[in-house]
Amino acid sequence: MNIHDIYHFISPFFRKKRMSIFKKKFYITNRTLILDVGGSEFNWGLIPNLPKPIIVNLYYPSKEVTTLWIVADGTALPFRDKCFDIVYSNSVIEHLGTYERQKLFAEECRRVGVSYYVQTPNRKFPIEPHLLTPLIHYLPYKIQRKFIRYTVWALIAKPSVQELENFFSEVRLLDERELQILFPDAEIWHETWFGLVKSIIAVRRDYCKNLSK
């Protein structure tokens, strides 16, 4: 079992609820032009009657897809300003490794979308969502490196040494303050679990304002 198998077993409940709220709050119709930055077709099959987005990712999928798929970097999107009704991104921005790349990603989402919806795990949530382990992300970096082999993720997925190194070079969790700085024109939504803020979502809904005119 690899880590993607684990996430696809755990995440559908959260993602289905998230997509339902997204559809309702953004007044999605079959004419809404959506760009999914860093995603896949998985989310878009959870809720009926959602339009197929254009998907941007760093690689082509290994299986056939029914959406328009473009290989590009989310920090340098090949689109003109405001050419999409909504830019959507789910659990991607935390995988960019550095604050500088996260800032570029945020700027691009804000540039090409009239509205945007950018979700990321909350760093202050006590369970690290990739390692599936409580509190480890609060420890100093050197201690995290010592204990990562004993996390739930490592015990189940049995990652290679390179995969362990990739985790530390790739994942940088954000808290609400940082997300608000990256998206200064956003309202921040909370996704809670047992009263704790599990995920934070930067949202701008100018597209919805246009619909109401």
**55-72 pLDDT per residue, tens:** 999 999 988 899 999 999
Quickly state the pLDDT bin for 4 (edges 50, 70, 90): low
Which pLDDT score is estimated for 63? 86
Q: What is the pLDDT of residue 213?
A: 46
The DSSP bridge pattern shows strands 84-90 and 113-121 to be: parallel
pLDDT band at 76 (very low <50, low <70, confident <90, very high): very high
Distance in angstroms (rounded) separating the CA atoms of residues 187 and 165: 34
Task: Assign 210 a pLDDT band (cuts: 50, 70, 90).
Answer: low
pLDDT exceeds 70 at position 81: yes
Mean pLDDT of 24-50: 93
Tell me what pLDDT residue 80 has: 98
Q: What are phi and psi of 58, to 5 degrees?
A: -80, -10
SS3 133: strand
Burial (CB < 10 A; 0-12, 13-18, 19+), residue 152, is middle
Name the percent of the chain lying above pLDDT 70: 92
Q: Name the strand (E) or helix (H) holding 90.
A: strand 84-90
For the chain, first and last CA: distance in Å?
50
203/187 Cα distance (integer angstroms) = 5
pLDDT of residue 7: 60
What confidence score (pLDDT) does residue 118 get? 98
Whether the predicted pLDDT of 13 surpasses 90: no
Among 3-12, 30-39, 45-54, the range of highest mean pLDDT = 30-39
Amino acid at residue number 4: H
Six-digit token string for 209: 């304002």
- pTM, two decimals, is 0.92
- As a whole number, mean pLDDT of residues 202-208 equals 88
Say if CB 139 and CB 147 are below 8 A apart: yes
Burial class, 135, CB count within 10 angstroms (exposed 0-12 / middle 13-18 / buried 19+): exposed
The separation between CA 172 and the C-alpha centre of its own chain, rounded to angstroms, equals 12
